[in-house]
Amino acid sequence: MKIKTLVSALALTGATLVAVPSWAADTIKVGVLHSLSGTMAISESALKDTVLMLIKEQNEKGGLLGKQIEPVVVDPASNWPLFAEKARELISKDKVDVIFGSWTSVSRKSVLPVLQELNGLMFYPVQFEGEESSKNIFYTGAAPNQQAIPAVDYLMNDLGVKRFVLAGTDYVYPRTTNKILEAYLKSKGVPEKDIMVNYTPFGQSDWQSIVSQIKNFGSQGVKTAVVSTINGDANVPFYKELANQGISSEDIPVVAFSVGEQELSGLDAEPLVGHLAAWNYFQSVDTPENEHFIESWKTFKQDPNAVTNDPMEATYIGFNMWVNAVEKAGTTDVDSVEKAMIGQEFPNLTGGTAVMNKNHYLSKPVLIGEIQDDGQFETVWETDGTVAGDSWSDYLPSSQNVIADWTAPIHCGHYNTVTKKCSGEN
Amino acid sequence: MRHFLVLLCCLVGLFSSPAFSADSTTSHSLSDNQAPPALAPLMLKLTQEKYSKLLPVLKEIEANSNETTASLFRIMMQGDLYFIKTNKQLVQHFKDNGKDLYQGIFSQKVIADVTKRSVTKIKVNNRLRGYLRTAIARIQLTSASAEIRLSAVQELLSNLDDDTVAMIEALYSSETNKDVKAEMGLALAINTALSTELPNSTRIAAIHRLSSSLENTVRNKLTQLTNQDNPAIKTAAQQALSSISQRTERFAFLNQLFFGLSLGSVLLLASIGLAITFGVMGVINMAHGEMIMLGAYTTYVVQLMMPNYIDYSIWVAIPAAFIVSGLVGVLIERLVIRHLHGRPLETLLATFGISLILQQLVRTIFSPLNRQVASPSWMSGSWEINPVLSLTLNRLYILAFSLLVFMALVMVLKKTSLGLNVRAVSQNRNMAKAMGVKTDWIDAITFALGSGIAGIAGVALSQLTNVGPNLGQDYIINSFMVVVFGGVGNLLGTLVAAFSLGIATKFLEPMTGAVLSTILVLVFIILFIQKRPKGLFPQKGRAAE
């Protein structure tokens, strides 16, 4: 056993490409571009397994267009330029018909030019900062108006919060989201002095002085909340420090956009109880579809404690919409599928129906949950219906008048509604 | 310390064991009392209403409540209140040996044949939790224990409505305990200072009374008063505020200093092992961070093996981590580093390779996900010296622990024959060999010692940060920085460097932000090394090459 693990460890260290047995000649190939090693492996490897599970289920149902679907899994190893190389390899060498992949925005930005050059098709399943729309990408994760803005609305209207700490990790997603949030808060009449913005490096582990600053900021007699875009495992010491300094969720609630069931499974949820998260999906939502999905995931992983999360649901919706679009178009040709995708509807795991809009973003419901001591969320608030993803934020001066519309006659990812011009940007 | 107890009973990790609810913070006679008859219909309502409509029900319960029923609220606040689906009986959930058990709220007797599937949780959200907290405090105002009464008054300071003030007023004259009486007086003074219908002289006297307090609520209320029209009140409030802020600034400085020392202690722990392998032996060991990681994973494994004794697991984990990391260290030294003696560049590359192998090994065995290491209860929470200054316990223990490890290591190097041999080999290998020192053996032992201490650092770090495959990488650069800054081969230099870098970072952070402060410290070290290449305390004498 030990030798076996050692050997597989060595094999993994060296290998960048996970070998996939070759299927019979006529198959539909699906590329899976998620990091299986490096820092992002924690989050991304679950999405790789989700795609593999969905493909397996689809094949059991008889495949697609009478053919079997064949997964091609590559490992971009949390290395952003490698994402572009691997995408090129998938499209030109492996001739895949579609790619499911990427987690961080920087990896998506790295793949984007390759997709456009080779006219590939990719589904991106993670919540992100928006401000992008490409003909070759479908964004099934939440845009800021489907996660951040409803969360802030909830804080203001339901919890009566008047002061905001915008705390984030120092990279593009938190910076853009916080810029949008700051503009939004100001438009709602929150004065500059009641907004505190703080950025920390990746993997920050010493939160003492920042938490004590937040404590000071929050103890001026006005209800305060933290809006957290802190990424990855830096969250654990952050919440621990909050608990240690005696800040409870009733005093200063933290609403997070990057803390999901997967992240909570790796830590003691006790100090986090009562803090909030905003997502489009929670594992705890009780619907027959969700129950079935969780059951098949646990069976597929052969782990009774395996958890599901929001990006997995986004992958699930993206994959099924792609299958339906291919069936509708009768071909896997990128241009035909892209046309067939717009207007696709598919039931959410949390109830209701997701719709693919003209800007390649989904309409989805928004949920806010309180963290429970078992690492699950208790939904405390949700939007009445679905919210359509806004590709170019209305709250940033630079993108106020910009929309994306991939249908005729506009057919543009960056269309200025005032000057009636398409800039050609993505 | 009183504040610490308050914290324990109200906020932090109320462990769902019956043993805890039976200690001093709850009523002393839980098992003897049954629920008052008036509560029965209300308790039934708890099981029927949606949780957005629970607040009025809870208010009614509070009106009919005594101290015994406060336990109901406490159980609910902890999220351990369930009801049996069939007969709607309320039960308390707790875990014993990992099994879910349910017991009667007031009887405290385990109800047999109740499983997870036959009960439903009564959900609480933040609003309910906030209400429950103050409700418990209000009920506890009449508690028999002065300790509990004091914490109750403190809890209520920030939520003074008319009912609460009336309650405190009624209890004030009959209060016997000095501390509790003072705290009640403070609450009443806040109320007096704020009530506009009272004459100025009474209010100003109350404001003077407030200026001696450091409580947050007091500062908030005084700030409110400075915004009022009444000029006499305004000046009095401003004076009170400035005298308070003078004192808080001093404490804020102390707090900042503690943060710095605490970061310093983490740096010291992480780098002290490296100070031996790199400083004394001259081996550039890029796998040092992975030794720390192995120590942290050892803590995790130890906790897995003794799930019911988390509080003591640390004492097992410390020697275990020392042994595990030390053994791996010996292996690396015997198999790799020994053969690369005197070739620093090759050593660097080889040990970097080893660090990658160890990381991937851990990923394969334990999965790439972070592992959950629990904190012992005695390390959670903080020691509140006053409302402005509170020291988190885990950091306090780690600070003490790092100094202890440092002292032990200095003792080993200075007072034992092993230490003598280590110093001899590091100063002049050939001469030591000629004197009959087994240099080969000493090399292995020294490397084991350095790695073992890195393992111990891993145990401490597992209490502060994530235990994952990348744990070591986060600390390796800082460790080298500290050792080089302090002066290679000098343990005292490592100590001074660790604490000065820690304090500098923490004093810069509030001004510049976390990202810039790290950069500034790095730039400072680069400049410093330019000026003094041998660090703060260079080794002197012939031995130093």
- pLDDT tens for B383-424 read 888 877 888 898 999 999 999 999 999 999 999 999 999 888
Residue type present at position A338? E
The domain spans of chain B are 2-141, 160-229, 263-379+391-471
Q: B105 vs chain A: nearest CA distance in angstroms?
A: 20
Encode pLDDT of B423-447 as tens digits: 888 888 888 889 999 988 998 999 9
Mutate to test the interface with B, among A199, A205, A210, A238 (most CBs of B within 10 A): A205
Q: Given strand A224-229, what is the order of strands in its sheet?
A: A195-200, A163-169, A224-229, A254-256, A276-279, A367-371, A377-382
The span from the CA of B90 to the CA of A127, in Å, is 40
For residue A273, report the phi and psi dihedrals to the nearest 5 degrees. Answer: -55, 130
Structure tokens at A384: 């009445």
- Using a CB-CB cut-off of 8 Å, the residues of chain A touching B127 are 159
**Residue B458 CB-half CA count within 13 A:** 38
User: What is the domain partition of chain A in residue ranges?
Assistant: 2-142+287-364, 145-284+367-388
Instruction: Name the phi and psi angles at B507, rounded to 5.
Output: -80, -25
On chain A, the residues whose CB falls within 8 A of the CB of B470 are 39, 203
Q: What is the DSSP letter of B275?
A: I
Q: Which of residues 183-212 of A touch B (CB under 8 A)?
A: 198-201, 203-206, 208-210, 212
- For the ranges A95-104, B157-166, B249-258, the maximum mean pLDDT occurs at A95-104
d(CA A105, CA A124): 10
pLDDT number for residue B34: 56
* List of chain B residues whose C-beta atoms are within 8 Å of the C-beta of residue A244: 380-382, 392-395
CB of B145 within 8 A of CB of B25?
no
Say yes or no: A305 contacts chain B, CB-CB below 8 A.
Answer: no
pLDDT at residue A109 is higher than 90: yes
**pLDDT tens-place string over residues A118-167:** 999 999 999 999 999 999 999 999 999 999 999 999 999 988 899 999 99
In the beta sheet, which residues pair with residue A138? A123
Please tell me the distance from the alpha carbon of residue A315 to that of residue A308, in angstroms, as a whole number. 11
Tokens representing residue B544 in the block: 């130093």
SS3 category, A74: strand
Q: Is B353 on the interface with A (CB under 8 A)?
A: no
Q: How far is CA A262 from CA A45, A191, B135, B370, in A?
A: 11, 36, 35, 10
- Segment B520-538 shows an average pLDDT of 89
Q: How far is B221 from chain A (nearest CA, A)?
A: 8
Mean pLDDT, rounded, of chain B: 83
**Chain A closest-CA separation from residue B214 CA (Å):** 13
Contacts of B11 in chain A (CB under 8 A): 243, 246, 248
- Which residues on A lie below 8 Å from B7 (Cβ)? 246
B510–A209 C-beta distance less than 8 A: yes
B364 touches chain A (CB under 8 A): yes
B386 touches B406 (CB < 8 A):
no
Contact B526, A209 (CB under 8 A): no
Instruction: Provide the pLDDT confidence category of residue B165 given band limits of 50, 70 and 90.
Output: confident
Cα–Cα separations (whole angstroms), residue B466 to A89, A402, A406: 35, 42, 44
Q: Cβ contacts (< 8 Å) between B382 and chain A: which residues?
A: 244-246
Q: Out of B357, B474, B514, name the one closest to residue A13 (CB).
A: B357
Q: What is the mean pLDDT of residues B2-27?
A: 40
pLDDT in tens, B26-56: 333 333 345 566 777 787 887 877 767 788 8
For residues A261-265, average pLDDT = 83
- State how far the Cα of A395 lies from the Cα of A190, in Å rounded to an integer: 14
Q: What is the pLDDT of residues B319-358, one digit of tens each?
A: 999 999 999 999 999 999 989 888 889 999 999 999 999 9
At the second CATH level, the architecture of A145-284+367-388 is 3-Layer(aba) Sandwich (3.40)
How large is the average pLDDT for residues B504-511? 90
Judge whether A2-142+287-364 and A145-284+367-388 match in fold.
Answer: yes
Predicted local confidence at residue A50, as pLDDT: 96
pLDDT tens readout for residues B50-99: 767 788 888 888 877 776 677 888 888 887 888 888 888 888 888 777 67
Query: In chain A, which among 229-268 make CB contacts under 8 A with chain B?
Result: 233, 236-237, 240-241, 243-246, 248-250, 253, 265-268
DSSP state of A165: E
Interchain CB contacts (distance < 8 Å): A and B:
150
Tokens of A79: 């290395």
B499 Cα to chain A: minimum distance (Å): 15
Q: What is the mean pLDDT of residues A262-270?
A: 77
Domain at A2-142+287-364: CATH code: 3.40.50.2300
Q: What are phi and psi of A142, to 5 degrees?
A: -80, 140
Q: What is the rounded distance in angstroms from the CA atom of residue A324 to the CA atom of residue A330?
A: 10
Q: Which residue of A has its CA nearest to B129?
A: A250
Only one residue has tokens 């891993």, namely: B458
Spatial separation of the C-alpha atoms in residues B314 and B463, rounded to whole Å: 10
Alpha carbon B399 to its chain centroid, in Å, reads 12
Q: Which residue of A has its CA nearest to B371?
A: A266
Phi-psi region of A221 (alpha: psi -120 to 50; beta: other; left: phi over 0): left
pLDDT at residue A321 above 50? yes
Confidence bin at A23 (pLDDT 50/70/90):
very low
* B381–A246 C-beta distance less than 8 A: yes
Q: How far apart are CA A166 and CA A229, in angstroms?
A: 8
**CB-CB neighbors (< 8 A) of A230 in chain B:** none
Judging by beta carbons within 10 Å of its beta carbon (0-12, 13-18, 19+), is residue B488 exposed, middle or buried?
buried
Structural contact between residues B149 and B141, judged by C-beta atoms closer than 8 angstroms: yes
pLDDT at A225 over 50: yes
DSSP state of A93: I
Can you tell me the mean pLDDT for B243-250?
A: 86
Say what the pLDDT of residue B87 is: 83
Helix, strand, coil percentages (3-state) for chain B, rounded to 5, are 70, 5, 25
Q: Which of A90-104, A186-200, A405-419, B10-24 has the lowest mean pLDDT?
A: B10-24
**Dihedral sign for Cα atoms in the order A9, A11, A16, A21:** negative
- pLDDT tier, B183 (very low <50, low <70, confident <90, very high otherwise): confident
- Does B385 touch chain A if contact means CB atoms closer than 8 Å? no
Q: How far apart are CA A108 and CA B91, in angstroms?
A: 50
Residue with tokens 């008052």: B36
Give the number of residues written for chain A: 426
* B360 at interface of A, judged by CB pairs closer than 8 A: yes
Question: Cα(A275)–Cα(A256) distance, rounded to whole angstroms?
Answer: 8
Any CB–CB contact under 8 A between B133 and chain A? yes
**Nearest chain B Cα distance for residue A238, angstroms:** 9
- Distance between CA A276 and CA A368 in Å, rounded? 7
Q: Establish if A303 touches chain B: CB-CB under 8 angstroms.
A: no
**Could you give the percent of chain A with pLDDT greater than 70?**
93
Judged against a pLDDT cut of 70, whether residue A12 lies above it is answered with: no
User: Does B381 contact chain A (CB < 8 Å)?
Assistant: yes
User: Which of the residue ranges A299-313, A377-391, B215-229, B279-293 would you say has the lowest mean pLDDT?
Assistant: B215-229
Contact A185, A152 (CB under 8 A): yes
Quick one: DSSP state of residue A125?
-
Burial B273-294 (b: 16+ CB within 10 A, else e): bbbbbbbbbbbbbbbbbbbbbb
- The total of other beta-carbon atoms located within 10 Å of residue B99's CB is 8
Taking CA atoms, what residue in A is nearest to B12?
A243
Residue type (1 letter), B520: L
Cβ-based neighbour number of residue B418 at 10 Å: 14
- Mutant choice from A178, A223, A244, A276 vs B, greatest count of B C-beta within 10 A: A244
pLDDT digits (tens, 9 = 90+) for A70-79: 999 999 988 8
Average pLDDT, chain A: 88
Q: What is the ipTM of this complex?
A: 0.76
Bigger pLDDT: A283 or A1?
A283
Q: Is the pLDDT of residue A298 over 80?
A: yes
Question: With an 8 Å Cβ cutoff, is A269 touching chain B?
Answer: no
Percentage above 70 pLDDT, chain B: 91
DSSP element (H, E) containing B354: helix B344-366
